[in-house]
Chains A and B, each alone.
Chain A
Amino acid sequence: MEAFLGGGILATLASFLYPVMRFLVPPPVVDLGGDEVVAAKVGDLKPNSGKIFRFGSRPGLLILTSDGTYHALSATCTHLGCTVQYRSDMHEVWCACHNGTYSITGRNISGPPPRPLDAFDVHVRGDEIVVSRKREA
């Protein structure tokens, strides 16, 4: 009888708690950004400078080096998620939050970042600079 009563109370509690727990977790958001985005127009960037662009719901960083090569990286620091920037004085990518640095290809060089930044493919199509996710080999 006690087990029946106890089980009934637990079942009642579970039936209250389950929907609440499910309610607390936000539904997943579909990222409609696609695999490709126009990050800038040719001429938008001066040599040895960088620019943040939208890649879906996340920021990306487009860099034009002094020798005229474009690089595109994820702009989310792999340490604790701040948005990185290109430092023309250092010729490196820098995170202001905890002083982490990366090379222009995204390799983590110094400071706390544990992993490289994701690198994207860059193509110049007409006057548009198109950034796309790297194809899996």
Chain B
Amino acid sequence: MISAIIRWLDERLHLDGLIAPLRHKTVPTHRLSYWYFFGGITLFLFVVQVITGVLLLLYYRAGANEAFESVQYIMTQVRFGWLIRSIHSWSANLMILTAFAHMFSVAFLKAYRKPRELTWVSGMLLLFLVMGFGFSGYLLPWNTLAFFATKVGTSMVGEVPIIGRPMMIFLRGGEQVTGATLTRFFGFHVTVLPGLVLILIAIHLFLVQRQGMSVPPETEEEWVRNPSARREMKFFPNFLLRELMAWYVAIGVLGALAAIFPWNLGVKADPFVSAPAGIKPEWYFLFMFQTLKLIPSKVWLIDGEVLGVLGCGLAGLLWLLLPFFESEQPSHTKKWITGLTIFVLVYVIGMSVYGFLAK
């Protein structure tokens, strides 16, 4: 029956021609090949986000007087609502974690080298957008923590000289964080960001397919010296089946976390209460939060927060442009870039742990 349907489709669409490139595609195999899986797992978790996000949209209502109550309704009245919301929250966090793991693996394996500079840039833009998803989605339940996180985050944007203030007002929908901010963030979260992410994923995947997967410089040199040492596996079905196994593991971890540690809703936001003691942003913003906390109010003549925000922006921009500082020759890759990558990884983890433990 199925083969009859496939034959029927093949006669009309020539499916064989579509699948042929996949049959010829190969994936290099070496002792670090397993790092290749993180990109695919991130993509899989994004699909989980889209599906659970669409489900949540059936009941969620944006608005300062309704948002919290609607999420409460989802979690307490709608059958399996707590699970769908918990999966959406956990999957968002895991997606950012795997995206970071993917980024650092690409940086350490120097997979961003020529000709893959644009793959790195599109990947970094995707990471920024995913963090934008996290930031905008965090406000949607309209709880106290989210309210103050949004206040701080949008104030940081406001510190950027000249364009900062108009951008802050655009993001907030006014001078203050109010229901207007919630409406805007909801719009960004469910229309603007998904649209941009889909376009960038298409570009990112096209580049990966077009250029094939990178090989670490040492392995590449070894294979050039001794071509018989080259090892590859077929993408279809060998690599794809391994990737599916990784997805299966990811869904197991996700389901377990969502069921055993259901995501909290917190307390409804009130613009007229003080920020609660111990307030902290989501873990993926902790390293920036802790950095800002440590910068004194004035450094020379510059306000500390302006310096912090500009510093973070500049560091992000340099990181985005990392491939353009690298050598084209696998035998001459720059040691300082490896050193910088180690420093960035240690800094991000160290500051996050410090931020988590600090009062």
Contacts and interface: CB of A to CB of B under 8 A. Distances in A.
Interface of A: 24-26, 29, 52-54, 57-59, 61, 75, 79-85, 95-100, 108, 111-114
Contacts of A26: 169-170, 173-174, 180
Nearest to A50: B274
A99 B293 contact: yes
Given A96-B276, A96-B277, A97-B152, A108 B173 contact: no
Interface stretch (B102-110, B256-264, B296-304, B314-322): B296-304
Interface in B243-298: 271-279, 289, 292-293, 295-298
Given A96-B278, A112-B292, A112-B296, A82 B272 contact: no
Given A81-B152, A97-B148, A112-B305, 6 more contacts: A24-B170, A59-B271, A75-B274, A80-B151, A99-B293, A111-B297
Interface in B62-121: none
Contact of B272 (A54, A79, A81, A84): A54
Contacts of B154: 81
Contact of A112 (B151, B178, B272, B293): B293
Interface residues of B, number: 36
Chain A interface secondary structure, helix, strand, loop or mixed? loop
B156 A52 contact: no
22 contacts: A26-B170, A53-B272, A54-B272, A79-B297, A79-B305, A80-B155, A80-B305, A83-B273, A83-B275, A85-B274, A95-B275, A97-B152, A98-B293, A111-B293, A111-B297, A112-B293, A112-B296, A112-B297, A112-B305, A113-B297, A114-B303, A114-B304
